[in-house]
Amino acid sequence: MQKLTRDDLYSLEEYSTVRKAFRDKVLRHKRNRRLALGTNAALYFEDRLTMQYQVQEMLRIERIFEADGINEELDAYNPLIPDGTNWKATFMVEFAEEEERREMLTQLVDIENLVYMQVGELDKCYAVADEDLERADATKTSAVHFMRFELSNDQVAALKDGAELTAGIDHENYKVKISPVADNIRVSLLGDLD
């Protein structure tokens, strides 16, 4: 998937006029990119459109219009765009109450390394988590992790040939298996593998 360049972005002035329509488009797109993993965790799969929205919003909020600042934002967000053989996602542990969330994050140490996707009967593809910086320690995990699922050629081919997609978490304190992944999400994720 092609990375974003400055030419792909709206100027701040242009963005102010198209923001509502662009935001609506992105929100519709994201409906096919969120995968609930049980009641308290979810994967939000990123792609070129979701990252363009993130960059545009950061430029707007920070009022960045100079080339160096724009390039810094692109450098920060482009790594979250899939490379054609992988999926990139934001993983969130979601507990509404702060006290419960704090307690659960101590019980879910290492959960970020036990999230998986599975194509058909092939081996599970476990996430490579937090390549940008360490977000957990020996006593607790973070509520937010950035993940990459690197697929083999066999997994990509099987998925394109119609193999079922499964997702899950193998943590001793949070086990879940989603089988099959909803077709709208599966089709959307197929688009990342070109």
Strand pairing category for 128-129 and 144-150 = antiparallel
Q: What number of other Cβ atoms are within 10 A of residue 53's Cβ? A: 19
Per-residue pLDDT of the chain (194 residues; tens, 9 = 90+): 799 999 999 999 999 999 999 999 999 999 999 999 999 999 999 999 999 999 999 999 999 999 999 999 999 999 999 999 999 999 999 999 999 999 999 999 999 999 999 999 999 999 999 776 666 677 889 999 999 999 999 999 999 999 999 999 999 999 999 999 999 999 999 999 98
Q: Are 163 and 119 in contact (CB under 8 A)?
A: yes
Q: Which two tokens stand for residue 124?
A: 């599970």
Strand order in the sheet with 115-119: 125-126, 115-119, 165-171, 174-178
Q: Are 127 and 150 in contact (CB under 8 A)?
A: no
> Residue 116 corresponds to which amino acid?
Y
10 Å CB burial of residue 144 (0-12, 13-18, 19+) is: middle
- Domain map (residue ranges) of the chain: 6-31+48-80, 86-193
Round to the nearest angstrom and report the end-to-end CA distance of the chain: 7
Q: 132: closest CA among 191, 46, 62, 42?
A: 46
